[in-house]
A and B are shown apart, each in its own frame.
Chain A
Amino acid sequence: MPLKIVDDCTSCDACVPVCPNEAISPGDVIYIIDADKCTECVGTDSDPQCVSVCPVDSIIPDPERQEPREALQAKYERLHADGCD
């Protein structure tokens, strides 16, 4: 399930650098996660990295998007298909 950022976000920018998929960016008011790029860190880490750095616990699973682990893994591979790692 991709993650999303909720109202408590203080736009601190902590989550941007830890995202392996460059899925997070500043929105108009708070930060936003591009669900098409979020793999919940499947592919690189055991836990979502942004969740672990967010100082105000404002990153939660997006209840509107259900994606099984395999789909997240496939998404990760698609995103990094032409990378050199």
Chain B
Amino acid sequence: MNIVVVGGGWAGCAAAMQAAKQGGNVTLLERTDMLLGTGLVGGIFRNNGRFTAAEEAISLGGGEMFAAMDANAVHRDIAFPGHAHASLYDVTAMEPVVRKMLRNAGVEIHFTTRIIDVEMEGQRVNAVVTGKGSGAVRYAGDAFIDTTGTAGVPNSCNKYGNGCSMCILRCHTFGIRVSVAARAGAKEMVGRKNDRYGAMSGACILMKHSLAPEIIQILERDGVAMVPLPESPDNAVEKLEGKCCQQYALPEYSRNLILLDTGHVKLMTTNFPIEQLREVTGFANARYEDPISGGIGNSIRYVGMTPRDNMLRADGIDNLFVAGEKAGLLVGHTEAVVTGVLAGYNAVQSAAGADLLVLPESLAIGDAIAHVRESMRTEEGLGSKFTFSGAGYFQRMRQRGLYTTDVEAIRNRVTAAGLTNVFSGRTRSLSPPVASVRRSSAASARVG
């Protein structure tokens, strides 16, 4: 079973791992030179309902990525406005860890490999390709997973944002995001609120050593620092409106600079003019790490989401699965990982002709997947973002009794659903063809 995953963000990494665990012969294609996508600059997990979702995934047997984040956390169980029991992984050290894990699991990773087209046969994808002319490489597969995210493309950053702010996605170096699902004929949706399309990321990264030593000290001790802003209500209002995540639309975020220690320093705002930033005590020499032009803007996301069912199969395409931001207005690493695991599982099931899995709504993960699908059909839904950690969806989790930090209770919930370790995969020894298939497959050949 050849499974081809396109896009190596958290969703793609989780999907590739899951598919490999189930004996799939997995190829992961990433257009840049690193895995994790926007996960290279985030770092917050286990905050609010993300704790519950992570523990559900662990009980379901698909907890590898969370184990890796936990092992690489620089702070655990910290609080900042609106958020409890958060962990922060070290964004500077996470990528090599995941790369190694995937390689150990037998995933074949190809970097600087940007897919720009698909070969279809009726409602099925036969192969994805890197180009049209000679030199184009084609990757054939039995099932495909589109985890290309929703960030960029430069035209969107220009049209809906403040232009390219040179973020970690580095479109001008590696070429722009191309949606496999769209190329396969999916009618994609765009997140929008009023006349505003897409949304900016809700955080920037500052170079730690560009800040005053007192601030670094607090950050390294507590994981969080809140620095009050001098009065300037006008720009605060604009910042709040441009926010990607309603979860950060609290007054604290406009009156203070909220900083988190994620190896570098995460500044909880979409962007902040560097001149103004440098007027704040302790920030006289502040410099952005990502986006490099964080004083001007941030990348635009939520353009290009794929309609899909609750098995995460793209509508109208039999063997294409989607996860992460691609699968809806789902914001976050945790959200990308849990949907990635399900997409990876169902891709292998589909290639094997076996039953596909829908997670029940008694689990937060199942409920979120179904709820986001429903919500995206409405105008209001397209104007919202969904995350286990805040805003509307976290409230829903609490109302439905889905939010808890009681690990035992979460385990019992998964047991009651009859799904304990459903994602634990077949052991490698039970799938003898894997090693030999991999060598001959490579599933890739030169075209043209």
In contact, A30 and B155 (Cβ under 8 angstroms): yes
In contact, A29 and B176 (Cβ under 8 angstroms): yes
6 A-B pairs besides A26-B159, A30-B155 with CB distance below 8 A are A7-B132, A11-B155, A11-B158, A29-B153, A29-B155, A55-B172
B134 to chain A, nearest CB (A): 14
A30, B172: Cα distance in complex, Å: 12
User: Does A44 count as interface, using CB distance less than 8 angstroms?
Assistant: no
In contact, B172 and A8 (Cβ under 8 angstroms): no
Chain B residues lying within 8 Å of A26, measured Cβ to Cβ, are: 155, 158-159
User: A residues bordering B, Cβ < 8 Å?
Assistant: 6-13, 26-30, 55-56
Q: Mark B141-173, 1 if CB is under 8 A from A, else 0.
A: 000000000000111001100001000000110
- What would 24 A/B residue contacts be, using CB atoms closer than 8 Å? A7-B117, A7-B131, A7-B132, A7-B178, A8-B175, A9-B176, A10-B172, A11-B153, A11-B158, A11-B176, A12-B154, A12-B164, A12-B172, A13-B158, A26-B155, A26-B158, A28-B155, A29-B153, A29-B155, A30-B153, A30-B155, A30-B176, A55-B172, A56-B175
A8, B175: Cα distance in complex, Å: 6
B154 to chain A, nearest CB (A): 4
Chain A residues lying within 8 Å of B117, measured Cβ to Cβ, are: 7
Closest residue of chain A to B173 (Cβ to Cβ) is A10
A45, B171: Cα distance in complex, Å: 30
In contact, A10 and B154 (Cβ under 8 angstroms): yes
User: B residues bordering A, Cβ < 8 Å?
Assistant: 116-117, 131-132, 153-155, 158-159, 164, 171-172, 175-176, 178
Closest residue of chain B to A11 (Cβ to Cβ) is B154
In contact, B176 and A10 (Cβ under 8 angstroms): yes
A11, B153: Cα distance in complex, Å: 8
A26, B172: Cα distance in complex, Å: 15
A35 to chain B, nearest CB (A): 19
A20, B154: Cα distance in complex, Å: 24
In contact, B159 and A10 (Cβ under 8 angstroms): no
Give the number of residue pairs across the A-B interface with Cβ within 8 Å: 36
A6, B116: Cα distance in complex, Å: 11
Chain A residues lying within 8 Å of B159, measured Cβ to Cβ, are: 26
In contact, A10 and B171 (Cβ under 8 angstroms): yes
Query: Which 8 interchain pairs have the tightest Cβ spacing?
Result: A11-B154, A11-B155, A10-B172, A7-B116, A10-B171, A26-B155, A12-B172, A10-B176
Chain B residues lying within 8 Å of A7, measured Cβ to Cβ, are: 116-117, 131-132, 178
A8, B172: Cα distance in complex, Å: 10
Q: Which of B116, B155, B178 has the most CB of A within 10 A?
A: B155
B414 to chain A, nearest CB (A): 42
A9, B177: Cα distance in complex, Å: 11
Q: Which of A8, A28, A29 has the most CB of B within 10 A?
A: A29
In contact, B175 and A10 (Cβ under 8 angstroms): yes
A28 to chain B, nearest CB (A): 7
B167 to chain A, nearest CB (A): 13
A8 to chain B, nearest CB (A): 6
Chain A residues lying within 8 Å of B131, measured Cβ to Cβ, are: 7
A11, B158: Cα distance in complex, Å: 9
Chain B residues lying within 8 Å of A30, measured Cβ to Cβ, are: 153, 155, 176
A62 to chain B, nearest CB (A): 14
Chain B residues lying within 8 Å of A12, measured Cβ to Cβ, are: 154, 164, 172
A36, B332: Cα distance in complex, Å: 45
B155 touches which of A8, A27, A55, A56 (Cβ 8 Å)? A27
Chain A residues lying within 8 Å of B175, measured Cβ to Cβ, are: 8, 10, 56
Chain A residues lying within 8 Å of B116, measured Cβ to Cβ, are: 7
B33 to chain A, nearest CB (A): 16
A26 to chain B, nearest CB (A): 5
Chain B residues lying within 8 Å of A8, measured Cβ to Cβ, are: 175
A31 to chain B, nearest CB (A): 8
A9, B153: Cα distance in complex, Å: 11
A52 to chain B, nearest CB (A): 17
A8, B206: Cα distance in complex, Å: 31
A73, B249: Cα distance in complex, Å: 58
A82 to chain B, nearest CB (A): 31
A41 to chain B, nearest CB (A): 24
B158 to chain A, nearest CB (A): 7
